[in-house]
Amino acid sequence: MIIICVTSIQGYTQVSPPLKKVTVVGAARGQFFGDTYRPTDEDTVTAKKLNSGNVLADLGLKIQANANMEILGMVRIRNDYGGFWGSGVSFDVRQLYVRGLIGNAVRYQLGDINYRMTPYTLWNNEQDLFGELPKAFSTQMQAINYDHFYNSDHSWRQQGASANVGFLFAKAIKEIQLNAVSTRIKTSDFSNQSDRVFVGLNAQVIQSESLSLGFNYADIFDIVGTSRNQTSMRNPIVTSSAHWMMDWGSSKMDVKGEAGLSARYTEGVDIAVKNGRFNDWKALWASKSTGLSLEMRYHFVNADFRSPGAQTRRLNAGGQLSAFSRIGNDQVLRPVSILDMMRETSLYNMQLQTSLGQYLPQYDNITPYGDATPNRQGYFIKGGYETSKGLWKSVVIYYNGRETKGEGTIEPRSYSRVKAETELLLNEQTIGWKSQLHLSAAYRNDRTERSGPAYLPQVNLKNEMIALGAEYLINKKWEILLGMQQVNFKGLEMKNIRDFNGEIVNFSEMELDGSEIMSSLGLRYFFSAQSYLSLQRFQWNGRNGLDPDHEHSIAQWMLLYQMNF
């Protein structure tokens, strides 16, 4: 006997039963920045101080049209400080969707959709160094993530339509979920660029509580006929996944994996097809009684694997900075720093990109495109410990990998990463303390190496990241925030230069020798769980051993008011 039912899919928020016919939802934010630029050498051209700020309100109306249909429309009103009375005011539609049920069986959504599939088909990977960011820096980063719809579930904000349906079975199989999505990622210019769409299909077979299998298909293609261009880019990806978990006693075993194929080609053009493949398997053992856990993971992603939905980067490394974009008397372009990554909204991307985006090897040279980073194979070992009430939590990760295919030589690069994170939480739950103190520390050491004849440039890049954080919450109202993050990088990397078709056509030597330290001290007052006012001081110092003339530091005061409703 089969029963058709409505299911929730990954990244799809369940429609809540309507409480009111019309609900007002949204958020408001006011922020003010006071920046000071301090060059090491004389700089009489660049303005040393920069003040900016804005206030914005996202006002949304959620309308429950009937029992099976919900409509959300949200507008953003934004005003830069100094821009009242008309100038500097922007008025945008931030969200618009209709969603509901058809025949109590098929759930659909039209308009803006937050959607994710798997880490190899459609997945919004976190920006560089985001995972290790102390909370003191997350106030600004969270604003960027909110503005760009970067959700913790790794979904991409798209515009299109989605539908999902589920079937319940009485025997052998518990449930089958079918999900489909189609979005437009590029509009036709009626000349060279045709409409480009993303299509995703997913079937999830849940055999039991402990075993489920998944089948995924994702494709990006141009619709011929929507412009004068008769060629069509195609990038289908087919994957299958399995997830098995079992509890015995106080231990838990969790094994999951995904494997698949991709093809990248252009119909109507005589360019070789890029055939990609990957597989990724991990096994986790965790003991509830001791708090110990051990995870082992193996992954292989070949050099030709292309999956725009999973390889699009949030951070556009080649983006233009808005604060102190040029420095020095010769007004050179200021390179992107960890301070900019924390606060520069213009560096972030909201649309799927069909080519591999630029990245910054000094921050992450191993997984710049997340799990789906092409040309990587290796294994991870992750050991963890957590006390029962969450007083202390620690994780150590070791990664050893290498390329699947050399670049410019058959000798592959080898990669290694050692990462350790620890957290201490002192509060009412853990030690019976009324206030709350959270301490965190993280360390990451990455190495990229490639041996070869002495006449070739030797790839030997070393990256190091240290992060320390402390947050002291008094009476659930006042919070003192302290944070420090340091990044060191030194060595040589041969950066590849790709043509329009993604083929490597040259290499450029990228020599790095520098460090960045960013620290923050701040005070936050919570009006309620949904609103707070934060005053923070940030200090960023950069050292550039290869270009000491343009070394500088930037200090920033930030006042932020945030409210969600």
Partner 1 sequence: MKKVVLAVMVAVGLLHGCKVEDSFDGPDLNDLYGPFSIESDLNISQDSVDFSLGEQPLFSAAFSKKVNWKLKIIGLTSGAVKIEQVFDSEVNYLWNGSTTQFPMFREETCAVELTVDQQPDTLRDTIVIIAPKVNQGLLLSDFEGGLNASWNTFVQSGANMNFGLQSNANVPQGVRSYTMEGAVSWDWLIGLIDIPASAYGAPHFDLNANASQVYFNTLLYKHPDYDNGIVLLQFREDDNGDGSYTDGEEDMFSVELKGGSDGWRLVSLKYQDLATLVNGAAASPIGNGLHEPDKLFQVSILFLANPSSGFSASGLDYMVFTEGSPLAP
In one-letter notation, the amino acid at residue 12 is Y
Pick 238 or 563: Cβ nearer partner 1: 238
Task: Show the binding pattern over residues 420-449: x = contacts partner 1 (CB under 8 A), - = does not.
Answer: ------------------------------
Closest separation in Å from C-beta 494 to partner 1: 8
3-state secondary structure 509-528: EEEEEEEEEEEEEEEEEEEE
**Footprint on residues 191-210 left by partner 1 (CB under 8 A):** 207, 210
Q: Which residues contact 514 (CB under 8 A, 6 or more apart)?
A: 362, 488, 489, 490, 542, 543, 544, 545, 546
Judged by CB under 8 A, which stretch of 192-200, 343-351, 409-417, 440-448 contacts partner 1? 409-417
Hey, what are 263's tokens?
A: 């093809």
Provide φ and ψ at 478, rounded to 5°.
-105, 135
Judged by CB under 8 A, which stretch of 39-47, 131-139, 402-410, 534-542 contacts partner 1? 402-410
Pick 242 or 482: Cβ nearer partner 1: 242
169 binds partner 1 (CB under 8 A): no
Closest separation in Å from C-beta 407 to partner 1: 5
Q: Which residues contact 384 (CB under 8 A, 6 or more apart)?
A: 286, 292, 293, 294, 295, 393, 394, 395, 396
Pick 259 or 263: Cβ nearer partner 1: 259
511 binds partner 1 (CB under 8 A): no
Note the Cα 38 to chain centre separation in Å. Answer: 31
* Residue 365 contacts residue 415 (beta carbons within 8 Å): yes
Judged by CB under 8 A, which stretch of 66-74, 104-112, 403-411, 552-560 contacts partner 1? 403-411
Closest separation in Å from C-beta 252 to partner 1: 16
405 binds partner 1 (CB under 8 A): yes
Pick 183 or 404: Cβ nearer partner 1: 404
Instruction: Give me the residue label for tokens 């029963």.
Output: 3
496 binds partner 1 (CB under 8 A): yes
**Footprint on residues 228-247 left by partner 1 (CB under 8 A):** 242, 244
SS3 27: strand
**Footprint on residues 46-105 left by partner 1 (CB under 8 A):** none
Contacting residue, 132, 364, 403, 421, with partner 1 by CB under 8 A: 403
112 binds partner 1 (CB under 8 A): no
Provide the b/e sequence for 180-196 (b: ≥16 CB within 10 Å).
Answer: bbbbebbebeeeeebbb
412 binds partner 1 (CB under 8 A): yes
Pick 267 or 511: Cβ nearer partner 1: 511
Could you give the angle at the alpha carbon of 109 between the alpha carbons of 107 and 110, nearest 5°?
150
Hey, what are 381's tokens?
A: 């070992």
Contacting residue, 15, 199, 211, 426, with partner 1 by CB under 8 A: 211
Instruction: Give me the residue label for tokens 């002192």.
Output: 426
Provide φ and ψ at 402, rounded to 5°.
-160, 170
451 binds partner 1 (CB under 8 A): no
Helix (H) or strand (E) run with residue 138 in it: helix 135-147
Ranges of beta strands (E only) in 125-236 are: 156-169, 175-186, 196-206, 211-222, 232-234
**Footprint on residues 255-284 left by partner 1 (CB under 8 A):** 255, 257, 259, 277, 279-281
Task: Show the binding pattern over residues 309-338: x = contacts partner 1 (CB under 8 A), - = does not.
Answer: ------------------------------
Q: CA separation (Å) from 363 to 33, 366, 532, 557?
A: 25, 9, 31, 25
Contact set with partner 1 (CB under 8 A): 207, 210-211, 242, 244, 255, 257, 259, 277, 279-281, 298, 300, 302-303, 375, 377, 402-410, 412, 452-453, 455-457, 494, 496, 503-507
